Amino acid sequence: MSQDTGTNTLSSLGEFGLVGKILSTIRESSVSIPGIEVEAGDDAAVINLTNASLVISVDMYVEGKHFRTDWSTAIEIGRRCAAASLSDVCAMGAVPVGALLAIGMPGSTASHWASEFISGFTEEVGLAGAVVLGGDVSESEQIVISVSALGTVESGSAVTRAGAQIGDLVGICGRSGMAAAGLRVLQRGLRSPRVLVDAFRVPKIDYLAGSRAAKHSATSMIDISDGLVADLQHIARDSQVCVELDTSGFDVPQELVSAAAAFGTDPMSWILAGGDDHALVATFPASVGVAQGFTTIGKITQGTENGVTKEGTVLINGEPYTESPGFRHFT
Amino acid sequence: MSQDTGTNTLSSLGEFGLVGKILSTIRESSVSIPGIEVEAGDDAAVINLTNASLVISVDMYVEGKHFRTDWSTAIEIGRRCAAASLSDVCAMGAVPVGALLAIGMPGSTASHWASEFISGFTEEVGLAGAVVLGGDVSESEQIVISVSALGTVESGSAVTRAGAQIGDLVGICGRSGMAAAGLRVLQRGLRSPRVLVDAFRVPKIDYLAGSRAAKHSATSMIDISDGLVADLQHIARDSQVCVELDTSGFDVPQELVSAAAAFGTDPMSWILAGGDDHALVATFPASVGVAQGFTTIGKITQGTENGVTKEGTVLINGEPYTESPGFRHFT
């Protein structure tokens, strides 16, 4: 990618200049990916998936709503958009294979911001073992990013939210609560503890955990983006079971305990309701146990209590969760 | 889909309410699509593509830049976003199979606008023989829409921009200039001639034309979104040939002639530089002629003139095109 002076804007660079920069970044990173018949740059990309089923999802990230340019660098925002999007295909039991990126930006955006965003995005896609398959650029009032993530899974082997069985163990792979704590730190105008702020800026994803869980007989799986309880409610409802979490099973990092004490809050509220960490939660038959890299945090039950069945609910140490379970738009 | 009172906004409906409405619209329209293993609503959709290669592209549409809510209804905008996006996969020789939709909207957006947009989008995706595979909704300052379009093509058979051969015929399928004329009408504050305004509002796409061209030995193909000359320059450059158009080959509709006279302009400037019609242009060996539904408008040459080769250029009746060949962002 060519050097920017730091004073160029997208208006001075022009649409085709930016598209050219994006394509050169993508091409540098995608040399000889197997299966790519036509790479980004034509009307569409073409990829041969050889006997696997395609897993695909889309996410949108809006400046001021999902990220702030004064809280995160362009590289971090690029990495985070890629990570959060690819996490969805992992949560189906798939291996990531590609991503498409559409960005709207004001004409006044510094072109080095755009270049760095693309670099971060492409880097994270590469970490996932995937490739950027296409993109589009437009002018908009605020920065709006849309990512479509693609993965492949053996046909018939995708893991949905609907298969949890009574008696299954609930396992988590990845951190929960760290990003929420980092967000709280940034909202207070602070920049440390760094480990929490970094967790908010770029989630750490094990991109093979979903595929590993699928091969380990996972019965249901979801990625935690809105909050642990909020997202487990999807499994509870779609599988028509009760998800019972035992908070003694959680590994609570010392940084989270210290930050919670400083903020006068309970670290468990971040763990249970904080989003943006993109941990994977899956259910496994008790006979096989949780997959490698997963920690057991609960079990699937009928949730019957005094003769009343609590299907479709999440219980924490046997009690309903009464706080706000996660994040919502338009509320 | 439930009835709207017309006064609900997205803020009152909430994100999950809107997602639920979208999912119900999608499910009503996608009953028993072959190959769908997991439909929209989980972390990602899963589709079995059985031995074909995947063709995929992304586009972004921004309110005030690509569409205006006072010029087009929500249904028309939905249809246009779907049509323009799916046209890209057709231009690779593929048959459309699916689309993913991400929308950012202000919280003050009327929920019936959002519902109608989704209905129009889903309807057009259905006309293309495809299905909505997923979606995401977010809050943003202006309406921003991102569509990823998916198609399938026989492995190794995708038609790029780079294969045009000297001696090939250039064929067009679909209208050119009608949408540009309709845009001009709307810009003047008028609403008729209706046929031109409608052409701008919703492009008419033959979704099987690209696949037909590929089977008819097309050597290169592109969809005309920015303008005929602008987009043919991609074929000229990528194939390292000269594209020579003969304007006597164009079928110029009477409405275009009349409107051009009223505006004191040449209808050919709309045909050559107007975007948004999403006609397909392909090159075919002269020995087989253009595919069914295509009209011959030129040929591929070396473009040598006085010993100087004009590879990578587009000539109109033997002359370079000197006017602005199409639309650009960030300029």
d(CA B232, CA B230): 6
Cβ of B330 within 8 Å of Cβ of A14? The answer is: yes
Which residues on chain A are in Cβ contact (under 8 Å) with B138? 60-62, 65-66, 329
CB B62 to CB A140 under 8 A? yes
> Residue B5 domain-assigned?
no
Among candidate residues A121, A154, A187, the one where a domain is terminated? A154
Does a structural domain hold residue B160?
A: no
In this complex, which of A59, A98, A138 lies closest to B329 when CB atoms are compared?
Answer: A138
Cβ-Cβ contacts under 8 Å, B133 against chain A? 56
Looking at the structure, tell me whether residues A188 and A229 fall in a common domain: yes
Cα Rg of chain A, angstroms = 21
* Confidence check: pLDDT of B2 > 60: no
Q: Which residue has the higher pLDDT, B107 or A217?
A: A217
DSSP states along A98-114: EEEEEEEE-TTSBHHHH
| Tokens 């000297």, located at residue | B166
pLDDT score at A322: 81
| Pairing status of strand A220-223 against strand A314-316 | unpaired
B244 occurs within a structural domain: yes
Which DSSP letter does residue A143 get? -
| Co-location of B146 and B283 in the same domain | no
Contact A56, B47 (CB under 8 A): yes
Chain B residue numbers touching A230 (CB-CB < 8 A): none
Band (pLDDT 50/70/90 cuts) for residue B14 is low
Cβ separation of B146 and A60 shorter than 8 Å?
A: yes
pLDDT at A11 over 90: no
Q: Which residues of B touch A326 (CB under 8 A)?
A: none
Q: Buried b / exposed e across A92-118, counting CB within 10 Å, b at 16+?
A: bbbbbbbbbbbbbbeeebbbbbbbbbb
The confidence score (pLDDT) of residue A41 equals: 72
Among B2-16, B102-116, B296-310, top mean pLDDT goes to B102-116
Contact assignment for A46 to B65 by CB distance below 8 Å: no
Check whether residue B231 and residue B314 sit in a common domain: yes
Mean pLDDT across B186-207? 93
Residue corresponding to tokens 């979104």 = B225
Higher pLDDT, B327 or A58: A58
Question: How many angstroms away from the CA of A59 is the closest CA of chain B?
Answer: 5
Q: Give dist(CA B31, CA B177) in Å, integer.
A: 37
Q: Which pLDDT score, from 0 to 100, does residue A329 have?
A: 46
Residues 258-297 of A with CB under 8 A from B: none
Distance between first and last Cα of chain B: 41
Which structural domain range is residue A59 located in? 10-154
- Indicate if A299 and A218 belong to the same structural domain: yes
pLDDT given for residue A196 in this prediction:
94
* pLDDT tens string A192-215: 899 999 999 999 999 999 999 999
Q: Distance from B5 to chain A by nearest Cα, in Å?
A: 18
CA distance, residue A42 to nearest chain B CA (Å): 6
Q: Residue A24's domain is classified under what CATH number?
A: 3.30.1330.10
Nearest CB to A54; choose among B15, B46, B149: B46
Structure-token pair, residue B291: 């595919």
Give the integer Cα–Cα distance in Å for B331 and B329.
Answer: 6
Chain A positions in Cβ-Cβ contact with residue B14 (cut-off 8 Å): 328-331
What is the average per-residue pLDDT within B253-267?
Answer: 93
Residue B78's φ and ψ, nearest 5 degrees, are -60, -45
Omega cis (within 30) before A96: no
Alpha-carbon A193 to chain mean position: 22
A195 touches chain B (CB under 8 A): no
Mutate to test the interface with A, among B10, B46, B103 (most CBs of A within 10 A): B46
The alpha helices in chain A, defined as continuous H runs, are: 10-13, 15-29, 74-90, 111-127, 178-187, 194-201, 209-215, 228-239, 254-263, 267-273
Instruction: Please indicate if any CB of chain B lies within 8 Å of the CB of A134.
Output: yes
- Is A33 in the same domain as A135? yes
Residues of A whose CB is below 8 A from B146 = 58, 60, 102, 136, 144, 146
- What is the chain A residue with the closest CA to B152? A46
Angle at the Cα of A281 from the Cα atoms of B40 and B34, rounded to 5 degrees: 25
Residues 6+ apart with CB under 8 A from B91: A43, A44, B159, B210, B221, B222, B223, B280
From the list B228, B320, B331, the residue with the least C-alpha distance to B281 is B228
Confidence of residue B46 (pLDDT cuts 50, 70, 90): confident
pLDDT score recorded for residue A213: 97
Is A162 part of any domain? no
At how many degrees (to 10) do helices A254-263 and A194-201 cross?
Answer: 100
* pLDDT of B4: 43
Looking at chain A from residue 228 to 257, which residues have their Cβ under 8 Å from any Cβ of chain B? 238
Asked if residue B259 is part of any domain, the answer here is yes
**How distant is the Cα of B46 from the closest Cα of chain A, in angstroms?**
4
Radius of gyration of chain B (CA): 21
In total, chain B counts a number of residues equal to: 331
Residue B45: list chain A partners with CB under 8 A: 55-57
What confidence score (pLDDT) does residue B16 get?
58
Do B174 and B113 lie in one domain? The reply is no
Summarised one tens digit per residue, pLDDT across range B69-99 is 999 999 999 999 999 999 999 999 999 999 9
pLDDT band at B292 (very low <50, low <70, confident <90, very high): very high
B60 to A94: CB separation less than 8 angstroms, yes or no:
no
Q: What is the reported pLDDT for A278? A: 93
**Do both B107 and B196 map to the same domain?**
no
Residues B176 and B314 in one domain: yes
With respect to residue B36, please indicate whether it lies within any of the assigned structural domains. yes
Task: List the single residue in A49, A103, A137 with the smallest CB-CB distance to B49.
Answer: A49
What is the predicted pLDDT for the residue at A331? 40
Q: What is the pLDDT of residue A33?
A: 61
**What is the pLDDT at residue B156?**
85
The answer as to whether A326 is a domain residue is: no
Q: What is the pLDDT of residue A32?
A: 54
In the predicted model, is pLDDT for residue A141 greater than 90? yes
| B21 inside 8 A of chain A by CB | no
How many residue contacts between A and B have a Cβ separation below 8 Å? 236
CA distance A125 to A81: 10
| A146 in the same domain as A175 | no
Q: Return the number of other C-beta atoms located less than 10 Å from residue B192's C-beta.
A: 11
Provide, as residue numbers in chain A, all residues whose Cβ is less than 8 Å from the Cβ of B135: 58
Q: How would you write chain B as a 3-class SS string?
A: CCCCCCCCEHHHHCHHHHHHHHHHHHHHHCCCCCCEEECECECCEEEECCCEEEEEEEEEEEECCCECCCCCCHHHHHHHHHHHHHHHHHCCCCEEEEEEEEEEECCCCEHHHHHHHHHHHHHHHHHCCCEEEEEEEEECCCCEEEEEEEEEEECCCCCCCCCCCCCCEEEEECCCCHHHHHHHHHHCCCCCCHHHHHHHHCCCCCCCHHHHHHHCCCCEEEECCCCHHHHHHHHHHHHCCEEEECHHHCCCCHHHHHHHHHHCCCHHHHHHHCCCCCCEEEEECCCCCCCCCCEEEEEEECCCECCECCCCCEEECCEECCCCCCCCCCC
Work out the mean pLDDT of chain B and round it to a whole number: 88
User: Cβ of B92 and A38 within 8 Å?
Assistant: yes
> Between the CA of residue B282 and those of A26, A62, B159, B225, what are the distances in Å?
27, 38, 9, 14
Q: What is the mean pLDDT of residues A100-116?
A: 91
Q: Are A79 and A120 in contact (CB under 8 A)?
A: yes
Lowest mean pLDDT among A307-316, B52-61, B242-251, B314-323: A307-316
Looking at the partner chain, which of A18, A37, A136 has a beta carbon nearest the beta carbon of B58? A136
Higher pLDDT, B1 or B31: B31
Q: Touching check for B138 and chain A: CB below 8 Å?
A: yes
Mean pLDDT confidence for B176-183: 93
User: Residue B279 sits in a domain of what CATH number?
Assistant: 3.90.650.10
Predicted local distance difference test score (pLDDT) of residue A30? 58
Domain assignment present for A328: no
Q: Which residues in chain B have Cβ-Cβ distances shorter than 8 Å to A139?
A: 62, 65, 329-330
* Pair (A144, A18) in one structural domain: yes
Of A219-223, A269-273, B322-326, the range with the lowest mean pLDDT is B322-326
Per residue in A71-85, pLDDT (tens digit) is 999 999 999 999 999
What burial class does residue A69 get, using C-beta atoms within 10 Å of its C-beta: 0-12 exposed, 13-18 middle, 19+ buried?
middle
Our CA-based measurement puts residue A163 at a distance from the nearest CA of chain B, in whole angstroms, of 12
pLDDT at B18: 67
From chain B, the residues in CB contact with A89 under 8 A are: 43-44
pLDDT higher than 50, residue A5: no
Average pLDDT, stretch A296-319? 86
Chain B segment 204-233 residues within 8 A of A by beta carbon are 221-223
B136 to chain A, minimum CA–CA distance in Å? 5
Clarify whether residues A138 and A233 are in a common domain. Answer: no
B150 and B229 inside one domain: no
The pLDDT value recorded for residue A324 is 75
* CA closest to B230 among chain A residues: A16
ipTM for the complex shown: 0.87
Number of domains comprising chain A: 2
A256-307: pLDDT as tens digits = 999 999 999 999 999 999 888 999 999 999 999 999 999 999 999 987 767 7
